[in-house]
Chain A
């Protein structure tokens, strides 16, 4: 049993990295992830880990150095946020295409313009097609737990893919919460010794990463990359089962809250799920059968399992903290994909909330649930996509 502490999300994730003790870390500071890597670099300076820290001149270089170190055969981690993730963009696809299991906590923050440092999901949603596994975290505890599991998932011999661990900027990264830490030895045993595959530093067996592959085989490589993603689900569940034995904390592909007998439900990611659960409770006490589904694994997206969990509902609201201008929110699109093959699809609405860190308040969830009550009665949707929490 480890200790119970009061820490911020950044502190908790930095602690998970200290316990894992990766071989190499290349990073560049960006609000609100700066503090995470700053804490981790203190662990390096204080001799608490033997990670090689590569200080670089940009996030593009940070991810490039991580790719090089991972191809060389190291266990590699970094962290970033917002514009930093955007600057890594081209390298993200290379990390995934080269099948390098880099672990990267991403502290979710809005993208410019206008410039904004607060939490929303436009950064990681923009990277959803990069081939990285994405895990989302409601709390500092979940971010800590996900970060540790991410190493096991990404490094699994059937997978070998990079993993993003997402948590909300400031709301989680800078707020102090109760977190249960595992013992150092428990974490070390859980992640195990790193077993590189095709490391460049195995100089007796020279090899090349990143070849030119044109019309002859590129299409086939991408088909193979999708296949790997189809195996991730089972590994995530297997790792979660082991993690539960260790920590007593249960994780799945998504979390459901009072959903089994619900008639209406909100689907929502990350910290806003906490607020929504409170509102679900208050509606339950009024006799309204409300529930919640919070995806944990967004890439690959567990379409079938989510569809099964939502199939009995009379109305669903999908709340997105990211937008696709001229399109639906990214989470809504996935839920549409999930329910597409269902008979008698429940009516759904998409509500965009909390962009650029706009507070998500209980009354926003209440308004959405009230609307769902009406939709469940009439089966009629007035406005499919709309924005909530807008100032008058």
Chain B
């Protein structure tokens, strides 16, 4: 009995070991098949955009394209900056101070993609509806953003993201 038992155990070990090797091998083969779907090298190469903000007058907003997505550049009025700063951030669904969201307070740069399901919110044109907080309004399922691009009401869970950007001269920003 002991002998058969021992034999069975060693055989089990071989089964488990070879099944494990097989699984590892299959995973190694599967990864390239999955990863090919991720952004390709040329897509990643287009990942930065430069833009001269000096042409954006006070009260005006411009939409540029970064990584195929709209980026909102808005030259805010003093009133808008003040409204954005005056909020008690504990009242916000996604608390963030206005100061942390704009490198220069008058020039707000945001990814113009609603954090709910990806529509482009309205509010870039003076004639657009800008929602109850005077920033942006997403028509798809009714999200309201304030003049800092923070979510105030509606299904979107987070604020409009600030893309990574820096001023490479006084007036030119590089996004990405």
Q: Do A and B make up one complex?
A: no
Q: Which residues of A come within 8 Å of B, CB atoms?
A: none
Chain B interface (Cβ < 8 Å from any Cβ of A): none
